[in-house]
Amino acid sequence: MTGDGLSRSEAARMAIMESERTHRRARLRAESEAFRNDPEDVAASRELAAELDALRAWRPLPPEDAE
């Protein structure tokens, strides 16, 4: 048993799982940074956002002309 009441195998399993989570987060962070720094990907993302904005179901009414 460890000081916090876990068996050694449980403590090892938890350490392995935490290490995997840390590595996965680091990989995702690196991938996100690469996408953010890629001008082509940023342009494609903005284009897609504009297309989706044009297709959204709810649109505010245009302001009424004051006459």
Give pLDDT tens digits for 19-65.
999 999 999 999 999 999 999 999 999 999 998 888 776 766 777 76
pLDDT for 53 equals 84
pLDDT for 59 equals 67
Structure tokens at 54: 């044009």
pTM of the model: 0.56
Per DSSP, 42 falls in state H
In contact, 49 and 43? CB cutoff 8 Å: no
Domain boundaries, the chain: 8-55
Spell 8-32 as b/e; 16+ CB within 10 A means b: eeeeeeeeeeeeeeeeeeeeeeeee
